[in-house]
Amino acid sequence: MRAAYYEQTGDPQVIQYGDRPDPEPQANEVVVKVEAVAVNPIDTYIRAGAIAMDLPMPYIPGCDLAGTVAAVGSGVTRYREGDRVWGSNQGLFGKQGTFAELAAVHEDWLYPIPDGVPTEQAAAGALVAITAALGLTFHAELKAGETLFINGGSGGVGSVVVQMAKAIGATVITTAGSDDKIEYCKSIGADHVLNYHDSDLDDQLQKLADEHNKLDFWWETLRTPDIARTIPFMAKRGRVIVMAGREAELQFPLGPFYVNDLRLIGFAMFNATPEEQQQVATRINKFYEQDQLRIPIGKELPLKDAALAHQLQENKTLQGEADFHGKIILKP
């Protein structure tokens, strides 16, 4: 099979493209004929060595995939040849990744693609949708009628949080940094969109929070969140999600936090068990089936351009530089 791989960590140019051995399905594994993969920031962190992992070299990167089952190993009960599937959590903890024509995946980490959902959508949504669904439904149990604020509603995870929260029945307030992105957030259902460049942003947010009896849920996407700023906006028993900022060290006023029964919740999707991810994947598929979830795809490239895709993702994540909006998809 043809695959993108590297033999040492480093800059995007360490990624090669060439022949690798076809995978054989082990017990409880299926071999997926990969039709699309998504590029995620974590892929670039692992490649750069910023996240230390014991990688099997030569290493095929990539967490997400969508495609068709080409072969099944012994003990497989959920899938058979020809089934369309999507999944994430590959390329981690000693597993080879998905940037290849074929990938061997344990059946516990795969989910059926609903009828009518394009393969590219299923791949693009894998990691970001599981992340959003874990936070909203598993960790913090967002309910209909609640008010949610997400700091950055046009990004990969942010845009999915907006759509899922609306599907659940919440009022959604978010921010974006340009007129185009503000319009995009409105187009996917956000009730109120503020420009985070505005000098009176907090005043605008406070007015909206007061109109809705404060915020029940704050989803923070920034790598350097200001929890002290967040607390005054929150309703009693409000929940604050953090999902980024490995190096951040936070300070916040403890008194207003605990006397209002607030909760600060941190999580990483890769800590969720297969059973937990199966539960949220079922919910995600229902969102797809009811046309309540669409993942923005900003760029499609052939798999041989994996190094370029990593460079583009790195520029977008670390420098905020991108001439496109949405996920980067690679196709073998």
Across all residues in the chain, what is the average pLDDT? 94
> With a cut of 50, which residues of the chain have pLDDT below it?
none
Cα–Cα distance measured from residue 104 to residue 25, given in angstroms and rounded to the nearest whole number: 6
Calculate what percentage of the chain has a pLDDT beyond 70. 99
Other Cβ atoms closer than 10 A to 258: 9
Residue 93: the pLDDT is 86
Residue 252: the pLDDT is 80
Residue 245: the pLDDT is 63
Condensed to tens digits (0 to 9), the pLDDT of residues 127-160 reads 999 999 999 999 999 999 999 999 999 988 999 9
59 touches 325 (CB < 8 A): no
Cα–Cα distance measured from residue 167 to residue 59, given in angstroms and rounded to the nearest whole number: 39
Cα–Cα distance measured from residue 32 to residue 96, given in angstroms and rounded to the nearest whole number: 13
Condensed to tens digits (0 to 9), the pLDDT of residues 182-233 reads 999 999 999 999 999 999 999 999 999 999 999 999 999 877 778 889 999 9
Residue 195: the pLDDT is 97
Residue 106: the pLDDT is 97
The amino acid at 29: E
